[in-house]
């Protein structure tokens, strides 16, 4: 049983769905009607030793917990509004520092903390829940709308966060400050997500587990496949250089590393052009949606599969 | 620095409060206007080794995580509606069992799970966030409305959960099944909370840290004091018997033990009578609100203070 099996098993034993629930568990956010308006809801938990090592300060952990939740709202085309924050640590000073980082993220990302819980824990643990709104008249962008012929595109850059993680793990933080910052302080693509929703992008997901894993979720939800060209992934020079210095193939790291918190989207070319014109962050076409249900990564015309992303409970263990 | 210091420090560095936030952090729930309606929001985290021992099954932990959040909504006079559930455990089977318990609580307590997160963790950890609604036209009951002369009353019974905890810790589960059940499967007082709101109860809080600690929160928020008679605490016979067998004074255990998830309320006598007539759970008067800002526990006319409840980061450590 792996993480996705757990989620599938849970999804099979849910109570009856009330009429206010417009999109249940299974997408980046659920969509629920509150006071007659659609709201987005999600949560994400970070735990020391699994999501970060001793190299992360409590403030950085708190910041990231809020940012990754904001990214879930961005991936639906929404506007992040409110969070609840639960934090546990071995001592109250660490809890306070973690919450200070979380509140810094709240200020920077424009969300307001409604409350939460603090407790003692052996491992620094933080869980954030988020509520996001939708622009009136706008539909949330789900994972399930991709159609054969749509282009696949990503915002920003891939692999920088994974390279930053390698730098942190190798004790090379000082050599790769930009990459480390990409890992510890993700910049959720709220503006790009809203532009995607406004343009009519057909499917969207945020890249948390890694492109190779997340594109599979999008394709499975949509009942399609895809072809991605590794050479088209937007990988920055410093990412390439650092990946190489750690003996990693940059494009493979970019496809599998995870935690980019960029958006992956599927849309017809015209829609994509409209979205690209309406947002500041660059958008790169990396492949296309196909009718056969396979996810293929190509390099120089050759199929280079399988690649896979992050799984919290990998099957081999 | 203790848990309440952490919360105070956090409260001092919050971002600017948006106009939709009607009641910020600091009560059982925040109150926020969503789609023009007031909604209640809260979260609570449970961690193995701190909130429960090896005696709790993962299902029991999941159940309780949902129930204690429902209790926060009950304490505002609201109706629990939706939860988000994040769970971490050393293996996916344990995560799944914890989520199964949480979903059982969702079905029994009438809340719908919108989503969440699962991950790997050394210690079984579960965090639940809840959204609750209010009956149209009804105001949420805060902690801050108590006035001198109000009666103080509690729903149900006190100390049974603490006695159940003693039984679990002592390996005497089989001798005290009802008490253990009170500890592991709290019955949040949703109906009583709504009846309290409808009758116009002035202040309310749920008993999670223990009467001695929670009454202090209510009094501090209201700028009042109180006098509680230990002999009036509703303590069941089996709680008395078991507490005695563990060398504990039953009324002191009832006042300090915590995790009762009953409601403590302050109201004029007529309001209290109206509420009592409208709900099934018994309500017992245990004392009264006073003008001087002290919390006094009396026994046979003698002051018996200080008593204190649970603190996750006690100052002496």
What ipTM does this complex have? Answer: 0.94
User: Which residues in chain A have their CB less than 8 angstroms from residue B1's CB?
Assistant: 92-93, 96
- Owner of token pair 């455990």: B89
Cβ A113 vs Cβ A83: under 8 Å: yes
Quote the DSSP letter at residue B204. Answer: E
Q: If you measure CA to CA, which chain A residue comes closest to B19?
A: A112
Cβ A6 vs Cβ B96: under 8 Å: yes
Domains and CATH numbers, chain A: 13-133 (3.30.1330.10), 151-303 (3.90.650.10)
Instruction: Give the side-chain half-sphere CA count within 13 A for A220.
Output: 9
How many A/B residue pairs have CB atoms within 8 Å? 223
- Nearest to A3, CA basis, from A308, A309, A315: A315
Cβ B158 vs Cβ B235: under 8 Å: yes
Cβ A227 vs Cβ A292: under 8 Å: no
Confidence at residue A306, expressed as pLDDT on a 0 to 100 scale: 72
Distance (Å) from the alpha carbon of A91 to chain B's nearest alpha carbon: 7
Tell me the helices (H) and strands (E) count for chain B, helix number first. Answer: 10, 13
Quote the DSSP letter at residue B231. Answer: G
d(C-alpha A263, C-alpha A270), whole Å: 18
Confidence at residue B317, expressed as pLDDT on a 0 to 100 scale: 34
Take residue B167 and report the two structure tokens written for it: 């039984």
Would you call B5 helix, strand, or coil by DSSP?
Answer: helix
Distance (Å) from the alpha carbon of A95 to chain B's nearest alpha carbon: 8
Take residue B195 and report the two structure tokens written for it: 């009846």
**pLDDT tens-digit series, residues A199-244:** 999 999 999 999 999 999 999 999 999 999 999 999 999 999 999 9
Q: If you measure CA to CA, which chain A residue comes closest to B314?
A: A92
**pLDDT tens-digit series, residues A257-316:** 999 999 999 999 999 999 999 999 999 999 999 999 999 999 988 888 677 766 555 544
Q: If you measure CA to CA, which chain A residue comes closest to B120?
A: A312
d(C-alpha B251, C-alpha B262), whole Å: 16
Confidence at residue A314, expressed as pLDDT on a 0 to 100 scale: 54
User: Which residues in chain B have their CB less than 8 angstroms from residue A30's CB?
Assistant: 114-115
Contact flag A84-B2 (C-beta cutoff 8 Å): no
Distance (Å) from the alpha carbon of A100 to chain B's nearest alpha carbon: 7
Quote the DSSP letter at residue B232. Answer: G
Residue in A7, A42, A93 nearest the CB of B118 = A7
The mean per-residue pLDDT over the stretch A58-87 comes to 98
- Model confidence at A1, in pLDDT bands (50, 70, 90)? confident
| Best of A5, A7, A9, A10 to mutate (most B CBs within 10 Å, chain B) | A10
User: Which residues in chain A have their CB less than 8 angstroms from residue B70's CB?
Assistant: none
Backbone torsions φ then ψ of A300, nearest 5 degrees: 55, 40
The mean per-residue pLDDT over the stretch A55-60 comes to 97
| Best of A45, A61, A66 to mutate (most B CBs within 10 Å, chain B) | A45
Cβ B37 vs Cβ A34: under 8 Å: yes
Confidence at residue A13, expressed as pLDDT on a 0 to 100 scale: 87
**Whole-prediction pTM value?**
0.95
Cβ A305 vs Cβ A296: under 8 Å: yes
Confidence at residue B312, expressed as pLDDT on a 0 to 100 scale: 55
Cβ A117 vs Cβ B127: under 8 Å: yes
User: Which residues in chain B have their CB less than 8 angstroms from residue A45's CB?
Assistant: 86-88, 117, 119, 125, 127
Cβ contacts of A241 within 8 Å, gap of 6 or more: none
Confidence at residue A271, expressed as pLDDT on a 0 to 100 scale: 98
Pairing of strands A30-34, A37-47: antiparallel
Confidence at residue A317, expressed as pLDDT on a 0 to 100 scale: 34
Confidence at residue B316, expressed as pLDDT on a 0 to 100 scale: 41
Q: If you measure CA to CA, which chain B residue comes closest to A89?
A: B313
Cβ A229 vs Cβ A286: under 8 Å: yes
Residue in A39, A41, A117 nearest the CB of B84 = A41
User: Which residues in chain A have their CB less than 8 angstroms from residue B17's CB?
Assistant: 112
Contact flag B45-A99 (C-beta cutoff 8 Å): no
Contact flag A121-B47 (C-beta cutoff 8 Å): yes
Residue in A6, A47, A92 nearest the CB of B5 = A92
**pLDDT tens-digit series, residues A158-205:** 999 999 999 999 999 999 999 999 999 999 999 999 999 999 999 999
Confidence at residue B307, expressed as pLDDT on a 0 to 100 scale: 79
The mean per-residue pLDDT over the stretch A110-115 comes to 96
- Nearest to B84, CA basis, from A160, A25, A77, A18: A25
Confidence at residue A189, expressed as pLDDT on a 0 to 100 scale: 98
User: Which residues in chain B have their CB less than 8 angstroms from residue A41's CB?
Assistant: 82, 84, 114-115, 131
User: Mean pLDDT of successive 10-residue segments in chain B (317 residues)?
Assistant: 81 92 94 96 96 96 98 98 97 96 97 95 97 96 98 98 97 97 98 98 97 96 97 98 96 95 98 96 98 93 76 49
Contact flag B313-A95 (C-beta cutoff 8 Å): yes
Contact flag B17-A112 (C-beta cutoff 8 Å): yes
User: Which residues in chain B have their CB less than 8 angstroms from residue A6's CB?
Assistant: 92, 95-96, 99, 118
Residue in A14, A49, A127 nearest the CB of B45 = A127
d(C-alpha A162, C-alpha B187), whole Å: 46
User: What secondary structure, in 3-state letters, does chain A show?
Assistant: CCHHHHHHHHHCCCCCCCCCEEECECECCEEEEECCEEEEEEEEEEEECCCECCCCCHHHHHHHHHHHHHHHHHCCCCEEEEEEEEEEECCHHHHHHHHHHHHHHHHHHCCEEEEEEEEECCCCEEEEEEEEECCCCCCCCCCCCCCCCCEEEEECCCCHHHHHHHHHHCCCHHHCHHHHHHHHCCCCCHHHHHHHHHHCCCEEEECCCCHHHHHHHHHHHHCCEEEEEHHHCCCCHHHHHHHHHCCCCHHHHHHHCCCCCCEEEEECHHHHHHHHHHCCCCEEEEEEEECCCCEEEEECCEECCCCCCCCCCCCCC
Q: Share the mean pLDDT of chain A.
A: 94
């Amino acid at each position: 049983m792996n993480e996705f099996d757990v989620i599938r098993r849970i999804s099979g034993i849910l109570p009856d769905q009330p009429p206010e629930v417009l999109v249940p568990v299974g997408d980046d956010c659920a969509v629920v009607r509150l006071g007659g308006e659609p709201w987005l809801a999600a949560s994400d938990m970070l735990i020391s030793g699994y999501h970060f090592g001793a190299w992360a300060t409590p403030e950085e952990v708190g910041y990231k917990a809020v940012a990754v939740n904001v990214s879930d709202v961005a991936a639906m085309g929404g506007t992040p509004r409110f969070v609840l924050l639960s934090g546990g640590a071995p001592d109250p000073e660490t809890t306070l520092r973690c919450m200070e980082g979380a509140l810094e993220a709240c200020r920077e990302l424009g969300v307001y903390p409604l409350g939460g819980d603090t407790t003692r824990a052996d491992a620094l643990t933080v869980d954030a829940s988020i509520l996001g709104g939708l622009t009136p008249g706008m539909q949330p962008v789900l994972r399930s709308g991709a159609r054969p012929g749509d282009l696949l595109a990503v915002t920003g850059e891939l692999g920088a966060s994974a390279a930053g993680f390698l730098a942190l793990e190798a004790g090379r933080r000082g050599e790769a400050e930009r990459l480390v910052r990409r890992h510890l302080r993700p910049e959720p693509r709220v503006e790009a997500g809203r532009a995607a929703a406004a343009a009519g992008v057909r499917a969207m997901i945020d890249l948390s587990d890694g492109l190779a894993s997340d594109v599979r979720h999008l394709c499975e939800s949509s009942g399609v496949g895809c072809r991605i060209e590794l050479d088209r992934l937007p990988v920055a020079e410093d990412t390439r250089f650092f990946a190489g210095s750690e003996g990693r193939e940059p494009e493979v790291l970019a496809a599998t590393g995870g935690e980019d918190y960029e958006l992956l989207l599927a849309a017809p070319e015209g829609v994509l052009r409209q979205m690209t014109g309406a947002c500041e962050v660059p958008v790169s076409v990396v492949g296309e949606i196909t009718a056969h249900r396979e996810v293929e990564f190509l390099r120089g015309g050759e199929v280079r599969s399988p690649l896979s992303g992050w799984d919290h409970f990998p099957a081999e263990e």
